[in-house]
Amino acid sequence: MRNTKTGIAATQVKREIRTWFAFEGPLGEVVHNKRFFFAWKDGCLMGTYSTLGEAMESLEGRERMKMQ
């Protein structure tokens, strides 16, 4: 006969640990994953940056180019 206690312990799901944070604004989204900031616009990756400011500036710069 099978031991049910070991079966239960093996099927327990580990709790997910989130290592990223997302910022959403009118120009696009910025995702921070431990070390880098990723700028996204309309579902496309626009670039990888070291700071949040750089990522936001890159989204603003692309918006300015469209307006001119």
Question: In this structure, what are the phi and psi dihedrals at residue 29, rounded to the nearest 5 degrees?
Answer: -120, 150
pLDDT at 43 over 70: yes
Q: Phi, psi (5° rounding) for residue 45?
A: -70, 125
Token pair in block for residue 35? 């070390």
The rounded mean pLDDT for the chain is 77
d(CA 5, CA 29): 45
Strands (DSSP E) found in the chain? 20-24, 29-33, 36-41, 44-49
Which pTM was predicted?
A: 0.61
Q: Where are the domains of the chain?
A: 20-67
Residue 52 pLDDT exceeds 60: yes
